[in-house]
Structure 1
């Protein structure tokens, strides 16, 4: 009888430990700028729907980083859909994100989104910062209507 109790206790302890290690996978994250509640985040793929009735909104979004400014880390671009991407700049130029290595990581951003026309000059500037070729930059000849986001805080997860 003692052996059955001892064996049962040992098996229970073994299963308890293995369940903990599987469920305790920690996600490393780094916050840039102001702290905020990431649990309020809405998926970036819903941005078009959220902006249907307005041209600006204060919001928390989550999405995947497509690229960052290779010069200073002063902007990043998140995948927002098939052809739409969201350019994210940082409030008052008060913080930056990594210049490389963040591509493909999940980001949660808190701030203000606006739908506006981006000038040819600004589009070319962003292309140059992203390391585009002179030929690709020269092909930018028209302004573009797009969503721009000014973030007061950013969380990047590994």
Structure 2
């Protein structure tokens, strides 16, 4: 009986993790002749006081954490579940964006080059070798690229409460 219950619980958890439906859809008309659509994942939020990723780096430089709404370009995203994305920073580096408590996921498609606006908390973290390798595997990197990761690194990370995919 215990084994059956545990297996059912595990199956329900796996099924729940694979749900990646958008919370809402909004249409934004940028020009009178062409309308673009944006989809919100996670918590809905207003696009107010949005700062570019370049300003986020400067503002977060001397703080433990910073609440912000940020606009950036996607460089890479999780091809396994849609549970993270990397966005471009001005110094040539990337910032990993994860989603609070795995509460939502982005589509498992190539989001490279897409503009996103996200809101949440930025902070500096030391990322372990195991975590770096896990993210590289999710991104579909080769075994050689994964094996080349041998040292922890400190980087600016972001935990998003909501994301608008443009």
- TM-score, normalised by the number of residues in structure 2: 0.78
The correspondence of residues 10-21 of structure 1 with structure 2, limited to 5 A, is none
Work out whether 1:152 is the aligned partner of 2:138: no
Q: Which has the higher helix share?
A: 1
Q: CA deviation at 1:133?
A: 0.6
Aligned to 1:50: 59
Aligned to 1:30: 39
**Structure with larger RCO (C-alpha < 8 A, sep 6+):** 1
Once the two structures are superposed, residues 30-67 of structure 1 have per-residue CA deviations (whole angstroms, 9 ceiling, x without a partner) of 00000011132100111221112202111100000111
Q: CA deviation at 1:81?
A: 2.1
> 2: distance between equivalents of 1:22 and 1:71?
35
Contact residue 32 and residue 155 of structure 1 kept, 8 A: yes
Instruction: Compare 36-45 and 133-142 and name the one that shifted more.
Output: 36-45
Contact residue 79 and residue 110 of structure 2 kept, 8 A: no
Aligned to 2:143: 134
The correspondence of residues 100-139 of structure 1 with structure 2, limited to 5 A, is 100-139=109-148
- TM-score, normalised by the number of residues in structure 1: 0.82
Contact residue 69 and residue 76 of structure 1 kept, 8 A: yes
Q: Structure 1: which 5+ residue stretches go unaligned? A: 1-20
> 1: distance between equivalents of 2:147 and 2:98?
23
Aligned length: 137
Contact residue 68 and residue 98 of structure 1 kept, 8 A: no
Work out whether 1:87 is the aligned partner of 2:65: no
Q: Which has the larger radius of gyration?
A: 1
Root-mean-square deviation (CA), in Å? Answer: 1.5
From 78, 83, 91, give the equivalent of 2:87: 78
Aligned to 1:12: none
Once the two structures are superposed, residues 118-148 of structure 1 have per-residue CA deviations (whole angstroms, 9 ceiling, x without a partner) of 0011000000000011111111001111011
Aligned to 1:5: none
> 2: distance between equivalents of 1:86 and 1:75?
10
